[in-house]
Every structure is written in structure tokens, then in C-alpha cells.
Amino acid sequence: MEKPQKTQEEPQLSPQMAAPDGGWGWVVVGSLFVSSALVFGLIRSLGVFFVEFVQYFGESAQAVSWITSIGLAMQQLMSPISAAASNVYGARPVVMMGGFLSGLGFILASQATCLLHLYLTMGFISGLGWGLIFTPTVASVMLYFTLRRSLAMGLGFTGVGLASFAFSPLFQYLVEAYAWRGALLVLGGLSFNMIACGALIRPLGKPKVVEKTENSTKLNKCSSLFSRIYEGFELSLLSHRGFLTYSLAITLFNAGYFIPYVHLVAHSRHIGFTEYQAAFVISVTGVADIVSRVASGWFSDLGKMRMQHMLVVWTGLLGLSLMLIPVAMVYSGLLVVSGVYGFCAGAMTPLAFAVVPEIVGIERMLGALGLLQLIESVGGLLGAPLSGWLKDYTGMYTVSFIAAGSFLVLGMLVTMTLPYFWSCTAPPPPSPLKKKSQHESIEDGLLKQTLSSNSVPEIPCLLDDIPYLDKE
């Protein structure tokens, strides 16, 4: 009577389940929608506070730019930690902790008396929270979808575009109504909503490291700490040529991608437009961003064009649009160029993440996202301060936008050196069966020996094709 109960419990203990491509996965997409809006949508709209901080503290553009750069760099530096923690504890508690820290950072920033306080609160604490939120949420959506993965990613990331459209005028109103300190308190309250987003992430199975540890203890009960760290952080990817090449490309993307969201408002006011006109420029980029993310995800799922090729096209157009921003001195022209920039930026973003499983495989996707953002943090940390320094040196933002566009074009060229890039068809995904032999049970090994001794050696036989009968 005990054996039937054992077979009924086995599906619940399965560490890996097939992606449902729907169902609760759409709730996880909704969680990504809100989280991306309150992370990158908020980062994009912090340019409204940039002007206020320069005037209030009397500091240079380069010094104030470090606030956003530290926050962005912390978000990316913490991605491997969040990926490893998710591999051990699951995504839900990690994302909920990140939501708490992100809100706490803004609340503490409202009491800042110098730029150093803003570095530590908005930059370090909130950036730490963003790092714990983003990677596990993105990985959860990828695990829930296979056939419609790009569309799900595009829909989830539309929160960034919607937030870019709504947050810039909203933040400008909050600054005028409550000053920048009161506005930061409101942002802290909004950020606490990401705690609820984390609670909505329902795991499909056991965390990866927990499952591997349970399997390994059948053969060796003394599992070393080093092996758990190695598995949790997916350090084997550091010798993967395709991953390293793509990491370099994404680092260059990151150096130029966020420059308009830091300095576009300041550039608009510098050439003579009002505060609300400058804030509306970011809103236009947000509207174009929303449309392009959904369109890009839908088109890539059709399979008419490889995702890597689409990524190169949109990245090249994005770099060119950045270089054209200083040329648009008339307000209508600035809106058109900003709209083109927003459309290309929105189309590029879901592809940049959807390409990762194609390069490293779905099994190592979570660790790859963490390491990828750790490496690209170099670009995020140095991009905005370099842009601010160029503005302080030249007195205008023209060279800053040209440099940002150059980084994206250079990253596009690096992407074109990926393995199998010039192939018209996508290569077969990396096989997860290579690691399977390391975690097989003793019973499987004995069964292989029995079959090999009793069967004809010329006929290959896979264990997965053998029908098993329940023993009485």
C-alpha cells in the first residue's frame, strides 16, 4: 500500500516541469510588467531630478550623474548574487526582499543633505534592491514560456515604456508640488509595490542547486561549498566563447543606452525648452517604446528572422538615432528623433534578453543573466559620468550623444562576431544531456551495466526509450 502513495507524490517533487506557455505564466508576465516599470521606467525618468539636484547642491553635471550610474551599476553588479540566491532559495523571496530595499533607498534619500547621501541611498541601497528584482523576474518569465517567449518578454517590458510616458510629467508635478524630497517619498511608496510582484512568482519546481544537491547526496553526502558556488553562479560560462562575446557587446550597449534618459531632459532645457516640454520628450520616447516592444516580440516569435539578426538591426538604428539628437534644434524635430530613439530602444530590449537561451541553453539561463549583467555593469557605471564630463568639458551635450551612439554601433559590430551569427538558420540549442551523467543515480548505473552485458552490442539503445513496468 505504500508504493502507490510514493508514485503519486513523485510528480510534485519533479525539479523541472515543462513550460506551460500560458496559464499562471501571464500573471508572472504582469509581475514583470510592474517590476520593469518601477525599475527601469523609474531610472529613465530620474532626469527630472537631475536638474533639481544640480541646482540644489550646486554640483557639476558629472558629479550628479554618478547617482544614476551607481544605482544602475549596483542593479547589474548584484545580478549574479540574485541569480545564485534564486538558484538556492527560489525567485519569490529574493524579489520580495529587493522590493523592500528599493523603496527603503528612496525614503532615506528624501532626507539627504549632500550628494554622498544620495550615492548611498538612491545609488547603493535602491540599486541593490533593483538587482535582486530584475534578473529573477526575467528568468521566471523565460521558464514559463517557450514558443511565445519573445512575445511574453515584450509584453512584460512594455511597463518600461508606459512608465517612461507617465513618470516624467508625474515626477515634474511632484517636484513642483512637494519639492524633490516629497517626490522621493512618493517614489519610495511606489517601489514597495514590487514586494507584491515578488509574491506572485510561483515556482515551477525546486531551485536548481537544491535539486542537484539532493541528487548528489545519494552518491556523496559531503557536498563541498565550492561546488555549490560553482553551480549557483554558473562559473563555467566564463570559458564559453559565445557568452563572453555577447557580454562584451552588451557592455558596449549599456554604455550608451541610458544616456538620453539621464541627459535628454537637461539637453532639452539647455537649448531653450520649458520644464514640461522637456519632460514630454521622455514621454514621447515612452509611447514609441510601448508599441515597439510588443511588435518586436510578436515578429521574432514568427520565426521569419533570427533574433540575433534582428538585434543587430535595431541596435544599429538605435545608435544612429542617438547621433541625430543634437541635430534636432526645433521642438518638433526633437520629438520625432526622440520617438525614433524610443522605438528602436524598445524593439532592442526584449531581444537582448531573449537571445541568451539561444547562446547558452535554457538550463544555464538564470546564471547567464546574472553574470551578463555583472559584466555589463562596467558600461552602465562609466557611461553617464563620461557623458557628464563631456558636457562639462564642451559646454553642450552634442559630443555626449555622439559618443553614446558610437558605443551602440561598436556593440553591434561585436555581436556580428558571435558563433553561427552568419548562418541563416538558428543552431541547435546546447544539449542539457551532457551534465546528466554527473547526477545519475546508482540504480541507473547498474541498469546500464545489466543492459550492456545482456544485449547485442551493435544495436544502440537509449534508456529513455525503455518501457518500465511497475513492480509489485
Per-residue pLDDT of 444-453, as tens digits, reads 443 344 334 4
C-alpha cell at 89: 532559495
467: left (phi over 0), alpha (psi -120 to 50) or beta: beta
Higher pLDDT, 34 or 45: 34
Closest CA to 219 of 437, 452, 462: 437
What is the rounded distance in angstroms from the CA atom of residue 45 to the CA atom of residue 175? 12
pLDDT band at 408 (very low <50, low <70, confident <90, very high): very high
Instruction: Quickly list DSSP for 330-398.
Output: SHHHHHHHHHHHHHHHHHHHHHHHHTHHHHH-STTHHHHHHHHHHHHHHHHHHHHHHHHHHHHHHSSSH
Average confidence score pLDDT of the chain: 80
Q: State mean pLDDT over 400-427.
A: 90
Per-residue pLDDT of 61-70, as tens digits, reads 778 888 888 8
Q: Contact at 8 Å (CB) between 196 and 75? A: no
Residue 277: pLDDT above 50?
yes
Amino acid identity for residue 310 in this structure: M
Per-residue pLDDT of 290-306, as tens digits, reads 888 888 878 887 778 88
Residue 145: pLDDT above 80?
yes
The neighbour count for residue 30, using CB atoms within 10 Å, is 15
Q: What's 78's DSSP letter? A: T
Q: State mean pLDDT over 421-436.
A: 63
pLDDT of residue 431: 53
- 208-216 helix and 225-233 helix, angle to the nearest 10 degrees: 140
> What's the full length of the chain, in residues?
472
Per-residue pLDDT of 356-398, as tens digits, reads 888 888 778 878 888 888 888 788 778 878 888 888 888 888 8
pLDDT of residue 252: 93
What is the rounded distance in angstroms from the CA atom of residue 344 to the CA atom of residue 327? 18
- Judged by average pLDDT, the poorest of 158-162, 182-186, 313-317, 399-403 is 158-162
pLDDT of residue 220: 56
Residue 93: pLDDT above 60?
yes
Which residue segments constitute the domains of the chain, with CATH numbers given?
A: 19-203 (1.20.1250.20), 234-421 (1.20.1250.20)
pLDDT of residue 253: 92
The pTM (predicted TM-score) of the whole model is 0.66
Per-residue pLDDT of 151-161, as tens digits, reads 888 888 888 87
Which range is most confident: 79-88, 97-106, 146-155, 339-348? 97-106
